[in-house]
Amino acid sequence: MDKPTAPSEGTRKSMRANRSKGTSPEVALTKALWASGIRGYRKNVLKLPGKPDVVFAKRKLCVFVHGCFWHGCPECGQKRNIRPTANGDYWREKMERNRLRDERNVALLERDGWRVVVVWECEIKRDLPAIVQKLTQSLA
Ligand SMILES: [Zn+2]
């Protein structure tokens, strides 16, 4: 049984998974871009809002690779791991703050004329070639 004060086992598992995998979805994406002959990007551009993971400055295209858990992926239902406990609220609020910050960063970038592509961790696992194709089209 879960203690009411601790995150549920599912939540802890997701947190551990996120930590141990580190930036691997991002690495998987840049490797796939490189393999497809896509060049001319920079990684982790700190001066732009939200520090986009991949930036094609000449094409004014930013790519964020979001971890499904922390950024509250709408696709894969990571949120379901959070139980309705007091701590569950804490994590939900944290994720909600992340989500709002993500939205604000996208709005700031778009205001400055950037195109923004958000890639979810689970999409990378599910269909990386489709993401590469989408980016290739955006850069054409
Ligand atoms: Zn996801």
Q: Please tell me the pTM assigned to this model.
A: 0.77
Helix (H, G, I), strand (E, B) or coil at 73: coil
pLDDT value, residue 69: 83
- Could you list the pLDDT tens digit for every one of the 140 residues in the chain? 444 555 666 666 665 555 444 458 999 999 999 999 999 999 989 999 999 999 999 999 999 999 888 888 887 865 556 555 667 788 888 888 999 999 999 999 999 999 999 999 999 999 999 999 999 999 98
Burial code (b: 16+ CB inside 10 Å, e: under 16) for 42-58 equals: eeebeebbbebbbbbee
Dmax over Cα atoms in the chain, in whole Å? 53
State in Å: Cα 69 to ligand 1 middle. 7
State in Å: Cα 36 to ligand 1 middle. 24
State in Å: Cα 7 to ligand 1 middle. 20
pLDDT value, residue 79: 55
State in Å: Cα 119 to ligand 1 middle. 9
